Structure 1
Amino acid sequence: MIASNNPRFLVLGASGLIGRSVTDDLRRRGCVTIGVARAFSASQRVSPLDIELPIMAMDASALAGLVRAHEIDVVVNCLGVLQDGPGSDTAAVHRDFVARLLAAITACGRRVRFIHISIPGRTDEDHTAFATTKREAERLIASSGVAHAILRPGFVIAPSAYGGSAMVRALAALPVDLPAKDAATPFQPVAVADIATTIAWLAMQPTDDEATRAVSWDLMQPEAVTLGDVIGAFRRCFGTMDWPRVAVPATLINLGAFAGDLCSRLGWMPPMRTTAIAELRRGVQGDPAPWIAATGITPATLDRAVGAHGATIQDKWFARLFLIKALIIASLVLFWVASGSIALFISFPATTAILTTRGWPDWFAVPFATITSMMDISVGVLIAFRKTATFGLATGIFVSLGYMVGCAVLTPDLWLEPLGALVKTGPAIVLMLVALLMMDNR
């Protein structure tokens, strides 16, 4: 436990992988920690100290007021976005917001230490908007005169998983192998607990201490590790080390990244996008020696970080289903759009004949077939967009049940149709229920 005169923390991005872990760790140490995020999931709303704010829309004056109102001593910025897209602007999040935050800290009238989570790597290898804007933020911080620490963690291993960390677990849990070149990429890891310990250590240092007033540290284990080694550690944890595997060609990975970019236009946040693959192939490496020497922290090794929380059945199910979720959503979108389009545009006479041969008048059968076909297409479109997917899945279940019950009452002979179209609706409902139960991201 830290002493009772603990500094007070403000963690920005407290709903993310690092932000959530740091917030919870600091609170366990007895520190008053205000967690701020645009939105918390229902399961994350466990403390009145977690506040939902439109943080990206706040100007420097509002941010300074937030720091003063809560008497903050340490601001920890864990905000970040992987790639530009609808609702995501790397320059706005990484550079412009940091500029406003630095102005707020300068104007708040308090002695505040600023701790910023960045990325490791050489600047001459910064080729994505994600990397270049992260580095622009570092330059703003270094020239601000604010007491600061720029922390550049390696591949973060935590009890929870999100984005890239979840994708690594999925690769370990499925019978696939990366191309040899990608597997050999340097990939130095760090346990999330070591990041939290570093932040707590920094907070106890005086802001006027020249040794820690302005530092930039790589946080990772010093031993050389590759991406293949990290996946291998998770395979040992999951018990999948001896499975036979199919090598995934680099072309297929590139195609998956392109598909991920398209999905991001629909509001989804897939871990496999062009920026993610570019950063993965760039690798994760740095020099943790200055960090270790200054803090005395002994970084957890890869095996200890992964093995410290052995795989439970929950871990294994999540890892196996993580990438399959995208396949489920895509197949349901295709199922609904294709079935409605075929009935409406290709086989409309046959669609109406199903009704007219059973005594339905044309004046009713034609509009009924048109409406139900358009409804099927609409369900598929709703599922395709992230904001409406939950509603679309629920609607799809309701519509499917309506078809089954309606046919049982009005056209019961369709249940005996040789291809069993109505019988197959049952498994489709179950698949939509599975997708509905997997919609949480955090």
Structure 2
Amino acid sequence: MPATNILVLGASGLIGRYVTDDLRARGFRVVGVARHFSPAQKVSALDLELPVMSMDAAALAQLLRTHDVDLVVNCLGVLQDGPGSDTQAVHRDFVARLLEAIRESGRAIRFVQISVPGAANEDRTAFSTTKREAERLIAASGIPHAMLRPGFVIAPAAYGGSAMLRALAALPVDLPAGEAGTPFQPVAVEDIAETIAWLAGRDIADESVRAVTWDLMQTQPISLGGVVDQFRWSFGTAKQLRITPPSFLIDLGARLGDLSSRLGWMPPLRSTAIAELRRGITGDPAAWMAATGIVPKTIAQAIGGHPATIQDKWFARLFLIKALIIASLALFWVASGFIALFISYDAAAGILRAHHFPPALVGPVTVLTSLMDISIGILIAFRRTAAFGLIAGIIASLGYMAVAAILTPDLWIEPLGALVKTGPAIVLMLVAFLMLDNR
């Protein structure tokens, strides 16, 4: 019988969120599961926050039985190993437990896996090799399944690589010729959702779709540079002058992205992303089109269907600047505290003495404020504590301004304007705080 109850794993992600909402609009009962939903994403009582990565097969089987699941859509994925991200655990080990859970549930369930395009002998990263290992487990399980291999996903929302390409299109930056010429076939997220809805409407006993592997992407060949050019057309930036950085700067940016991922951030520019980008995205959608009758949207149709709004343009222009803001604020606070404590301690303490600060407090106050500044910078540098660090920085800056106004008002008119410049710094910290959300 066709599926009526669907479980979407990774329902807070770029694909998972769209698929969950789309299937609900089509009348399916969809349980969306994620480790965390933003307040804006959790729109239904069926959006469940669960630690699925720590659930064993028995707990997953109970989840399937509780919600009478007929079809499971696995959209879970991580780009690269790092703190809190383990490609082997997410892509392979979890799928192995999920397949066991489907068998233990006692229900007839079709399994839809969102995988990656390309041939197995071209896999070079932990991301793609573990995705391919999951495919082999699914194929050997005997469970009715569909492995969907989407190309570069074009969606109304932007995250990761799709956000980065929008940023490139909005800023006066071009890709080096080697990267720009990489084959990069896209797919509209609407076509992914329509494919899953089509599968949900098929009887699970239908042998023609019992075990399928489909490439989902437009048929027309296009390069990575062509995808960026299409975004430029949407943003109205196609004719702006651009600079082309050398390839080694892209590699340097990827290394810096790897470093920031160790601090808990999830930058799109990391070594795995660059390796996959240079590999390209290609496939043959003929089997998918023939089976479903779906004619994939071209990138012009996918992007043209969502003309750039002012919020799209602001996001694209600020996306890469966000990293620069966070990094500069973290360095600013750490450097200011370090300089006052280790390099210019006498000068820092001298400012307090010159303004008749109690001598017994000069040393302790100088040390404590320096350590506080360093601590604020470290808090901002780590993603988990960045919000707290930014708020602490704003409060500390306001405190410095208030104390100076009372004890050393003449500092407000000193030639270099150190206190006057604190105001714009507070505004920048507020901007960073408001830009912390990723979804």
Query: What is the TM-score when the length of structure 2 is the normalising length?
Result: 0.99
Gaps of 5+ in 1: none
Comparing 353-362 with 297-306, greater Cα deviation is found at 353-362
Matched with 1:243 is 240
**1:56 paired residue among 47, 53, 57:** 53
Gaps of 5+ in 2: none
Q: How far is 1:24 from its partner?
A: 0.4
DSSP 3-state at the match of 1:370: helix
Matched with 1:26 is 23
Checking the alignment, whether the CA contact within 8 Å between 1:6 and 1:32 is kept in structure 2 is: no
DSSP 3-state at the match of 2:369: helix
In the alignment, the residues of structure 2 paired with residue 332 and residue 247 of structure 1 have an alpha-carbon distance, to the nearest angstrom, of 27
Q: Is 1:310 aligned to residue 307 of structure 2? A: yes
Matched with 1:150 is 147
Q: How far is 1:204 from its partner?
A: 1.2
Q: Which amino acid aligns with 1:339?
A: S
Matched with 1:437 is 434
Q: Which amino acid aligns with 1:114?
A: F
In the alignment, the residues of structure 2 paired with residue 229 and residue 243 of structure 1 have an alpha-carbon distance, to the nearest angstrom, of 16
Matched with 1:137 is 134
DSSP 3-state at the match of 1:207: coil
In the alignment, the residues of structure 2 paired with residue 125 and residue 426 of structure 1 have an alpha-carbon distance, to the nearest angstrom, of 53
Matched with 1:36 is 33
Q: How far is 1:405 from its partner?
A: 0.9
Matches within 5 A, 1:31-430: 31-430=28-427
In the alignment, the residues of structure 2 paired with residue 421 and residue 415 of structure 1 have an alpha-carbon distance, to the nearest angstrom, of 8
In the alignment, the residues of structure 2 paired with residue 29 and residue 187 of structure 1 have an alpha-carbon distance, to the nearest angstrom, of 30
Note the alpha carbon deviations across 1:61-109, whole angstroms, 9 max, x for none: 1101000000000000000000000000000000000000001111111
Q: How far is 1:418 from its partner?
A: 1.0
In the alignment, the residues of structure 2 paired with residue 9 and residue 300 of structure 1 have an alpha-carbon distance, to the nearest angstrom, of 25
In the alignment, the residues of structure 2 paired with residue 12 and residue 364 of structure 1 have an alpha-carbon distance, to the nearest angstrom, of 57
Checking the alignment, whether the CA contact within 8 Å between 2:10 and 2:33 is kept in structure 1 is: yes
Q: How far is 1:359 from its partner?
A: 1.4
Q: Which amino acid aligns with 2:406?
A: V
Comparing 203-212 with 224-233, greater Cα deviation is found at 203-212
Checking the alignment, whether the CA contact within 8 Å between 2:355 and 2:407 is kept in structure 1 is: no
Q: How far is 1:362 from its partner?
A: 2.4
In the alignment, the residues of structure 1 paired with residue 394 and residue 288 of structure 2 have an alpha-carbon distance, to the nearest angstrom, of 54
Percent identity between the two aligned chains: 69
Checking the alignment, whether the CA contact within 8 Å between 2:258 and 2:270 is kept in structure 1 is: yes
Note the alpha carbon deviations across 1:246-274, whole angstroms, 9 max, x for none: 00110100000000000000000000000
In the alignment, the residues of structure 2 paired with residue 55 and residue 173 of structure 1 have an alpha-carbon distance, to the nearest angstrom, of 37
DSSP 3-state at the match of 2:209: coil
Q: Which amino acid aligns with 2:171?
A: L
Q: How far is 1:46 from its partner?
A: 1.2
Q: How far is 1:276 from its partner?
A: 0.4
In the alignment, the residues of structure 1 paired with residue 358 and residue 315 of structure 2 have an alpha-carbon distance, to the nearest angstrom, of 51
Q: How far is 1:360 from its partner?
A: 1.7
Note the alpha carbon deviations across 1:202-253, whole angstroms, 9 max, x for none: 1111222111000000000011011011000000000000000000110100
CA-based RMSD of the aligned residues comes to 0.9
Comparing 215-224 with 5-14, greater Cα deviation is found at 5-14
In the alignment, the residues of structure 1 paired with residue 83 and residue 126 of structure 2 have an alpha-carbon distance, to the nearest angstrom, of 15
In the alignment, the residues of structure 2 paired with residue 430 and residue 246 of structure 1 have an alpha-carbon distance, to the nearest angstrom, of 30
Runs of 4+ in 1 over 2 A off after TM superposition: none
Q: Which amino acid aligns with 1:338?
A: A
Aligned residues: 439
Q: Which amino acid aligns with 1:326?
A: A
Note the alpha carbon deviations across 1:395-442, whole angstroms, 9 max, x for none: 000000110111001110111111110011111001000000000010
Q: How far is 1:6 from its partner?
A: 5.5
